[in-house]
Chain A
Amino acid sequence: MKIFSTHHRIIGFGYLLISSIAVAVGTGLSLVMRLHLTWPDWSLPLHGPVLPEEYLALVTMHGTLMLFFVLTVAPQSGFGNLILPAQIGTRHMAFPRWNAAGMWLMLVALLVLLSAFIVPGGAPIGGWTAYPPLSESSLAGPGQGFGMDLWLASITLFGIAGTISAVNTLTTIVKLRCEGMTWERLPLTVWGWFTAAMLSVIAFSVLLAALVLLFCDRHLQSGFFVPANEWINGVMIPHRGDGSPLLWLHLFWFFGHPEVYIAVLPGMGLTSMVLANFARRRVFAYKLMIATTLLIGLLGILVWGHHMFVAGLNPFAGTVFSVASLAIAIPSAAKVLSWIATVWGSKSKQIRLTTPMLFALGFVSLFVTGGLSGPILAQPILDEYLHNTFFVVAHFHLIMAMAGVFGLLCATYYWYPLMFHRQLSEPLGKVHFWCTLAGAYATFLPMHLTGLGGEPRHYAQLNGIVKPANDLLSATMPMQRHITYSALLLAVSQVFFFWNILKTARQPSMTEENPWQATTLEWAPQPADEDELIRVYREPCQYGARGESFSPQWKPEIPLQHEAE
Chain B
Amino acid sequence: MTLAVANTPGHGWFLPRDAALHGPALDTHLLLNLWIVLGLAALAHVLLLAGLAVRRRSEGTSVAMQEYLPLVVLIAVFGWLAVRSQQLWSAQRYVGAAPEAMQVEVTGEQFAWYFRYPGEDAAFGQTKFSLISAGSGNPLGIDPVDEKGKDDIVTSQLVLPAGREVDLTLRSLDVIHGFSVPEMRLKQNAVPGQASHLHFTPTAPGEYAILCTQVCGLGHYRMQAVLRVVTADEFETWTKTHEVQR
Contact = CB atoms under 8 A, between A and B. Distances in A.
Contact of B221 (A132, A232, A375, A465): A465
B175 A232 contact: yes
A33 B73 CA distance: 42
Interface stretch (A70-78, A408-416, A456-464, A486-494): A456-464
A475 interface: yes
Nearest to B79: A326
A45 interface: no
B82 interface: yes
A273 to B, nearest CB: 17
A323 B90 CA distance: 14
Given A125-B218, A288-B67, A375-B78, A226 B193 contact: yes
For chain B, which range describes its interface: under 10, 10 to 19, 20 to 34, or 35 or more residues? 35 or more
Contact of B110 (A233, A322, A456): A233
Contact of B13 (A131, A140, A450): A450
B231 interface: no
A431 interface: no
Residue among B14, B34, B89 having the largest count of chain A Cβ atoms under 10 Å? B89
Nearest to A546: B56
Contacts of A159: none
Contact of B12 (A233, A338, A477): A477
A125 B217 contact: yes
B191 A245 contact: yes
B63 A285 contact: yes
A461 B222 CA distance: 8
A142 B188 CA distance: 26
A145 interface: no
Contacts of A227: 192-193
Interface stretch (A79-87, A176-184, A258-266, A366-374): A366-374
B191 A337 contact: no
B93 A318 contact: yes
Nearest to A323: B82
Nearest to B17: A472
Given A56-B218, A329-B74, A375-B78, A345 B189 contact: no
A453 B216 contact: no
Contacts of B90: 315, 319
Residue among B14, B70, B187 having the largest count of chain A Cβ atoms under 10 Å? B187
B47 A460 contact: no
A234 B112 CA distance: 14
A193 B71 CA distance: 26
B191 A312 contact: yes
8 cross-chain pairs, A with B, having the tightest CB-CB distances, nearest first: A227-B193, A475-B12, A345-B56, A315-B93, A454-B182, A53-B218, A344-B51, A379-B85
Given A246-B194, A341-B61, A345-B56, 5 more contacts: A311-B176, A334-B71, A475-B12, A479-B13, A565-B63
Interface of A: 51-53, 56, 59, 125-127, 131-134, 140-142, 226-227, 229-234, 236, 242-246, 284-285, 288, 310-312, 315-316, 318-319, 322-323, 326, 329-330, 333-334, 336-341, 343-348, 353, 361, 364-365, 368-369, 372-373, 375-376, 379-382, 384-385, 387-389, 446, 449-450, 452-454, 456-462, 465-469, 471-479, 545-547, 563-565
20 contacts: A131-B214, A133-B192, A134-B217, A141-B110, A231-B174, A285-B66, A330-B78, A337-B70, A373-B37, A379-B81, A381-B29, A384-B185, A384-B188, A388-B213, A452-B14, A456-B213, A466-B224, A468-B9, A472-B209, A564-B60
